[in-house]
């Protein structure tokens, strides 16, 4: 049995609650795991003066993978920075994967099984911003590189191949953003030549937003730049159960961090209403990454059974608490 070192990043609000549940679920699986914990978020800032201590980045680097809850962003605190964006950039977690798969629940649309692959370190989130003209002109620069585009597009095609999918949609706005999206698009055509078994479709981002609503089942893999991926993946997760079940993975060359898509939901903290399933599905993605495919599948199956039986929190029409859902999942494992 391979030993894995898992770094838990509880964070703020409901983050520590759902991470605690995930630790219990992981401990119930036949795995050899060692857990470490590290600080991130507003609580960390209040205790240590920074929302992302260097020691946290070091812990993640030393681990096989990290599981992250969520953080609270304080409004207008001078000198505060987003620890999530900083973590992705510091660890070069360049590939963000968001699976969207139908769940056995009335709010979910049927036959959806796609993954949105988003570039996670550049584009409009490169952090190059300035004010000019006495604060009357604001500028944000959008940086797209050949290297950044090539590696994310290759990840998308590799994923399609590994999961027996037949198509990749490359989403851009090259008709208007001729330089940045133009580069992304032309790199996509080059990379696609190496994957003759996969069909590449290109689609403008506004069309994609519309097509996602009209017929989401047509998509297998979508690959796109940072901001577009952020928006489209939030849109898509609403067709398959919403924030209570949406999970994601951030994968780089030296580290990998898995997380629920939702935030710290301060009003839910301490109420027992937080749905832990998004974190369980992020945990399953982490197990896939660690090549523990059997445990990942077992966990996904247990979660699906709970959803189908309405053994869930109020957001999925159930009457159970966070801990009760966790107990049900563990029993099914
Ligand atoms: P949110 O995701 O925390 O909540 C949005 C809505 O979804 C709320 O109605 C909430 O009750 C519900 N919800 C969220 N997670 C749920 C769960 N597990 N089970 C059931 N319902 C759930 O987003 P919001 O309210 O915009 O932000 C709250 C805080 O979280 C802010 O400080 C924000 O900056 C931060 N945030 C952090 C993220 C992260 O750590 N990656 C991502 C998004 C927001
Ligand atoms: Mg988002």
User: Do 158 and 194 belong to one domain?
Assistant: yes
Position 306 scores a pLDDT of 97
Does residue 268 lie within any of the structural domains?
Answer: yes
User: Do 149 and 69 belong to one domain?
Assistant: no
Position 126 scores a pLDDT of 86
Does residue 266 lie within any of the structural domains?
Answer: yes
Does residue 289 lie within any of the structural domains?
Answer: yes
Q: Residue 168: CB within 6 Å of ligand 1?
A: no
Position 65 scores a pLDDT of 98
Name which residue sits closest to atom 5 of ligand 1, judged by CA: 265
Position 260 scores a pLDDT of 97
- pLDDT digit string (tens) for 182-195? 999 999 999 999 99
Could you list the residue range(s) of the whole structural domain that residue 266 is in?
Answer: 1-98+241-333
Name which residue sits closest to atom 12 of ligand 1, judged by CA: 265
Last residue of a domain, one of 239, 254, 278: 239
Average pLDDT (119-130) is: 92
Position 76 scores a pLDDT of 85
Instruction: Grade residue 215 by pLDDT with cuts at 50, 70 and 90.
Output: very high
pTM for this predicted structure? 0.95
Which of 17, 81, 85, 263 is the pocket-test mutation for ligand 1 (most atoms within 8 Å of CB)? 263
Does residue 45 lie within any of the structural domains?
Answer: yes
Position 254 scores a pLDDT of 87
Say how far apart CA 292 and CA 81 lie, in whole Å. Answer: 35
Residue 75, pLDDT above cutoff 90? no
Residue 78, pLDDT above cutoff 90? no
Ligand 1 atom nearest to CA at 268: 11
Portion of the chain with pLDDT greater than 70, in percent: 100
Say how far apart CA 93 and CA 79 lie, in whole Å. Answer: 23
Distance from the alpha carbon of residue 234 to the mean position of ligand 1, in angstroms: 12
User: Do 186 and 266 belong to one domain?
Assistant: no
User: Do 94 and 140 belong to one domain?
Assistant: no
Select from 19, 122, 5 the least CA-distant residue to 61: 5
Angle at 233 between CA 100 and CA 154, to 5 degrees: 85
Q: Residue 244: CB within 6 Å of ligand 1?
A: yes
Q: Catalytic pick from 125, 155, 273, 328? A: 125
Does residue 328 lie within any of the structural domains?
Answer: yes
| 230 among known catalytic residues | yes
| 234 among known catalytic residues | yes
Position 148 scores a pLDDT of 97
| 45 among known catalytic residues | no
| 206 among known catalytic residues | yes
User: Do 65 and 171 belong to one domain?
Assistant: no
- pLDDT digit string (tens) for 31-40? 999 999 999 9
Distance from the alpha carbon of residue 219 to the mean position of ligand 2, in angstroms: 20
End-to-end CA distance of the chain: 19
The helix/strand/coil state of 260 is strand
Domain count, the chain: 2
Last residue of a domain, one of 184, 218, 239: 239
Does residue 103 lie within any of the structural domains?
Answer: no
> What CATH code is carried by the domain that includes residue 316?
3.40.718.10
User: Do 133 and 82 belong to one domain?
Assistant: no
Name which residue sits closest to atom 6 of ligand 1, judged by CA: 265
User: Do 94 and 194 belong to one domain?
Assistant: no
Residue 127, pLDDT above cutoff 90? no
170 touches 202 (CB < 8 A): yes
User: Do 182 and 266 belong to one domain?
Assistant: no
Contacts 24+ apart (CB under 8 A), 180-184: 180/123, 180/142, 180/143, 180/144, 180/225, 181/144, 181/225, 183/144, 183/145, 183/146, 183/149, 184/144, 184/149, 184/153, 184/225
Position 66 scores a pLDDT of 98
- pLDDT digit string (tens) for 37-53? 999 999 999 999 999 99
- pLDDT digit string (tens) for 224-281? 999 999 999 999 999 999 999 999 999 999 899 999 999 999 999 999 999 999 999 9
Q: Residue 88: CB within 6 Å of ligand 1?
A: no
246 touches 237 (CB < 8 A): yes
Average pLDDT (302-311) is: 96
Average pLDDT (165-193) is: 98
Name which residue sits closest to atom 26 of ligand 1, judged by CA: 263
């Amino acid at each position: 049995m391979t030993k894995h070192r898992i770094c838990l990043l509880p964070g703020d609000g409901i983050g520590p609650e759902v991470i605690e549940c995930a630790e219990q679920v992981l401990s119930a699986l036949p795995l050899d795991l060692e857990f470490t914990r590290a600080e991130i978020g507003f609580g960390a800032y209040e205790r240590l003066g920074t929302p992302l201590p260097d020691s946290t980045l070091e812990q993640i680097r030393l681990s096989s993978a990290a599981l992250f809850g969520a953080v609270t962003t304080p409004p207008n605190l001078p000198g505060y920075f987003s620890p999530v964006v900083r973590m992705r950039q510091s660890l070069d977690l360049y590939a963000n994967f968001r699976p969207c798969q139908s769940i056995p629940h009335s709010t979910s649309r049927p036959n959806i099984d796609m993954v949105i692959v988003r570039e996670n370190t550049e584009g409009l989130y490169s952090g190059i911003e300035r004010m000019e003209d006495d604060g009357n002109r604001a500028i944000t620069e959008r940086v797209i590189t050949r290297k950044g585009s090539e590696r994310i597009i290759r990840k998308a095609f590799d994923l399609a191949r590994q999961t027996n999918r037949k198509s990749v949609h490359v989403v851009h706005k090259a008709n208007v953003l001729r330089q940045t999206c133009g580069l992304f698009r032309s790199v996509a055509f080059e990379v696609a030549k190496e994957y003759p078994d996969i069909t590449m479709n290109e689609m403008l981002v506004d069309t994609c937003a519309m097509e996602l609503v009209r017929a989401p089942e047509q998509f297998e893999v979508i690959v796109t730049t940072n901001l577009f991926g952020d928006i489209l993946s939030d849109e898509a997760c609403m067709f398959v159960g919403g924030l209570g079940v949406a999970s994601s993975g951030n994968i780089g060359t030296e580290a990998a961090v898995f997380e629920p898509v939702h935030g710290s939901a301060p009003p839910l903290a301490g109420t027992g209403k937080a749905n832990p399933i998004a974190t369980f599905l992020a945990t399953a993605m982490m197990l896939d990454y660690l090549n523990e495919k059997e445990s990942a599948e077992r966990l996904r199956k247990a979660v699906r059974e709970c959803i189908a039986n309405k053994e869930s929190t109020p957001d999925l029409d159930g009457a159970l608490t966070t801990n009760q859902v966790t107990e049900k999942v563990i029993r099914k494992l």
